[in-house]
């Protein structure tokens, strides 16, 4: 494999204690050196004015493959990932068929072998996501799954969730929990509150998420085992996670860019691209999410990338939930958290690369010698406007369409190979 030399970048690698001007030498797909004034016979990239960071790790992605490839497939999803600087992602199991069998896990991993991002699989806790029968966790692990989740739905049968949480540590797997009380959600479409009342649309109370979060934390505490809480969106769930961490419960948690940048007021436009589950909440919830990121209550930023076709999203009320996010996640987080002085760029990289890699136990989030050469080159200051026609995935259902953002991924390197280069630079 050819050598690659990245020159003159500001290298930011929080896991390695690096933040400064340096060069990065890559040989045989791994990091061979990170220091000033490196020279080698290698293809050279001048990264003057750019930051080199460990490739981002998106621990919550719906690739829709198998079964719904008109929305996205593994290869197009990974192309979108690369365009967003994401070099590792965790694929959720609500595919068709559900990723509840070794065969489906192997299909996903096989198709991803030549993709532009590393794909890891979260297999389902219960067969068909129905909470009626547990899956064969040993067989799923042997097939290559690294995590367990019924995401898209909560595990309604607490007995099966407890068993998965008990078994996961010995299997080296992470349980990622979709926290929702479906009886409280009761088919609601958006956050229950002033906007749902104004629009006359059935709402989902914040308590639906909060009760689920409390259950998962209670299980983790009672069994003394880890659990990861997905897509936190409410102030009460932030408080529950914060309290649990203070008590020594083995809980980690993620939020998504739309939960710290948008509120339920976006729904007044009656645009289904702003409908996702959990739904956009209130400004008070946004403030709590940001504080949770700042004080370490929320460990990670993931996207819950959920592609749907324009036809799917045409009707505001009947459209399925979900929005895409991998191509805009860094820019949104940089715009709303770093450029506002709420987080440093290094702290953001911890949330988007270092911590997700640690929670999942995957070889990512670092630029140490010998690590996979997965790198994002970013311009933290570039201003750009989200144009859905320039996105790299199949679907265009982003809530950030037309938004003016700061910070752009200019190049993505996966295993020492350039898998994305910003067309604006060509």
**Alpha helices, DSSP H, located in 247-282:** 257-261
- Extract the runs of DSSP E, i.e. beta strands, from 51-96: 51-54, 56-61, 86-91
Retrieve residue 276's tokens: 């996702």
Q: Do the bridges between strand 203-204 and strand 190-191 make them parallel or antiparallel, or are there none, so unpaired?
A: parallel
Retrieve residue 266's tokens: 């976006």
Give yes or no for a contact between 246 and 188, defined as CB atoms under 8 angstroms apart. Answer: no
Question: For the chain, how many residues are written?
Answer: 426
Q: How far apart are CA 175 and CA 169, in angstroms?
A: 9
Q: Is 304 considered catalytic here?
A: yes
Q: How far apart are CA 96 and CA 310, in angstroms?
A: 20
Separation of CA 68 from chain center:
20
Element holding 245 (H helix, E strand): helix 235-246
Angle between helices 283-295 and 235-246 (to 10 degrees): 30
Give yes or no for a contact between 208 and 181, defined as CB atoms under 8 angstroms apart. Answer: yes
What is the 8-class DSSP label of residue 321? Answer: P
Q: Which of 285, 304, 312, 379 is catalytic?
A: 304
**CB atoms closer than 10 angstroms to residue 401:** 18
Q: How far apart are CA 73 and CA 323, in angstroms?
A: 15
**What is the residue whose two structure tokens read 């805009």?**
328
Integer distance in angstroms from the first to the last C-alpha of the chain? 25
**CB atoms closer than 10 angstroms to residue 368:** 14
Q: Alpha-carbon torsion 323, 418, 383, 407, what sign?
A: positive
Contact partners, residue 243, CB within 8 Å, separation at least 6 = none
Of the candidates 264, 277, 287, 375, which has an alpha carbon nearest to the alpha carbon of residue 337? 287
Which positions are annotated as active-site residues? 304
């Amino acid at each position: 494999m050819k050598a690659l030399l990245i020159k003159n970048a500001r290298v930011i690698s929080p896991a390695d204690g690096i933040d400064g001007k340096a060069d990065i030498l890559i040989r045989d797909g791994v990091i061979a050196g990170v220091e000033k004034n490196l020279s080698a016979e290698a293809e050279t990239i001048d990264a003057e004015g750019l930051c080199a960071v460990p490739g981002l790790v998106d621990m919550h992605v719906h690739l829709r493959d198998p079964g719904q490839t008109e929305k996205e497939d593994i290869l197009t999803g990974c192309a979108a990932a690369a365009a967003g600087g994401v070099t590792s992602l965790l694929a959720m199991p609500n595919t068709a068929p559900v990723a509840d069998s070794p065969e489906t896990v192997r299909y996903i991993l096989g198709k991803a072998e030549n993709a532009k991002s590393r794909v890891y699989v979260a297999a389902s806790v219960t067969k068909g996501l129905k909470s009626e029968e547990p899956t064969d966790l040993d067989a799923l692990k042997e097939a290559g799954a690294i995590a367990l989740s019924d995401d898209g739905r909560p595990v309604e049968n607490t007995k099966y969730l407890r068993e998965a949480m008990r078994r996961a540590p010995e299997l080296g797997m992470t349980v990622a929990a979709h926290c929702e009380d479906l009886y409280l959600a009761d088919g609601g479409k958006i956050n229950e509150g002033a906007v749902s009342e104004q629009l006359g649309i059935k709402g989902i109370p914040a308590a639906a998420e909060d009760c689920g979060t409390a259950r998962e934390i209670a299980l983790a505490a009672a069994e003394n085992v880890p659990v990861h809480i997905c897509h936190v969106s409410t102030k009460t769930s932030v408080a529950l996670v914060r309290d649990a961490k203070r008590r020594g419960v083995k809980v980690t948690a993620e939020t998504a860019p739309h939960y710290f940048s948008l509120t339920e007021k976006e729904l007044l436009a009656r645009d289904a691209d702003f409908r996702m589950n959990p739904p956009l909440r209130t400004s008070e919830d946004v403030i709590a999410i940001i504080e949770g990121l700042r004080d370490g209550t929320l460990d990670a930023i993931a996207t819950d990338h959920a592609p749907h076709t324009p036809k799917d999203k045409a009707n505001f009320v009947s459209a399925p939930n979900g929005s895409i996010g991998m191509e805009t996640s860094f820019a949104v987080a940089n715009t709303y958290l770093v450029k506002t002085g709420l987080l440093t760029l290094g702290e953001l990289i911890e949330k988007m690369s270092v911590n997700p890699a640690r929670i999942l136990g995957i070889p990512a989030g670092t630029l140490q010698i010998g690590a996979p050469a997965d790198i994002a080159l970013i311009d933290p200051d570039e201003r750009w406007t989200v144009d859905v026609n320039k996105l790299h995935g199949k679907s265009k259902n982003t809530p950030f369409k037309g938004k003016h953002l700061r910070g752009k991924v200019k190049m993505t390197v996966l295993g020492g190979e350039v898998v994305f280069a910003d067309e604006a630079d060509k």
